[in-house]
């Protein structure tokens, strides 16, 4: 049978010492990241809409140039500026250059850090 007194003592200990578990820290960061990505999606949609209404010639020029080649999944440097220009204009069809750069930077940092002790038990 589950011993509730030990469980409540553990909760009291966590609140008293103000410590957070790795899962709590991960949940806070994941919620924050989701909020930022949702806000970023809303801003890019608004940017695309405003650019399409106020400067349709510029928007169509960027859009047509972006459609002319296959998606740049591998980050080829020849067409990366056009992907970046499309992303600034609010066009996120297949590739998000700034998000890819951020995630690749996180992966490199993770390789340098020590492994988490949660899964090494």
**Residue boundaries of the structural domains of the chain:** 22-112
Question: What is the C-alpha end-to-end distance of the chain, expressed in Å?
Answer: 25
**pLDDT at 107 exceeding the cut of 70:** no
CA dist list (Å): 79 to 23, 90, 91 = 40, 17, 15
State pLDDT tens for residues 24-67.
778 888 888 888 888 888 988 999 999 999 999 999 999 998 88
Long-range pairs, 21-28, Cβ under 8 A, ≥24 = 22/116, 22/118
pTM of the model: 0.59
- Tokens coding 65: 């140039």
pLDDT band at residue 6 using 50, 70 and 90 as cut-offs? low
Question: Is the four-CA dihedral 62, 67, 88, 84 of positive or negative sign?
Answer: negative
Q: Is the pLDDT of residue 10 over 70?
A: no
Provide CB contacts within 8 A for 36, sequence distance 6+.
none
DSSP state of 94: S
């Amino acid at each position: 049978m589950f011993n509730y007194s030990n469980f409540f003592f553990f909760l009291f200990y966590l609140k008293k010492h103000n410590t957070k578990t790795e899962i709590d820290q991960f949940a806070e960061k994941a919620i924050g990241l989701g909020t930022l990505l949702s806000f970023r999606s809303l801003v890019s949609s608004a940017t695309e809409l405003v650019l399409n209404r106020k400067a349709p010639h510029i928007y169509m020029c960027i859009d047509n140039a972006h459609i002319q080649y296959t998606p740049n999944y591998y980050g080829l440097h020849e067409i990366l500026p056009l992907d970046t220009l499309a992303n600034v204009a609010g066009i996120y069809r297949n590739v998000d250059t700034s998000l890819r750069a951020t995630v690749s930077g996180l992966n490199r940092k993770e390789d340098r850090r020590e492994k988490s002790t949660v899964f090494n038990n």
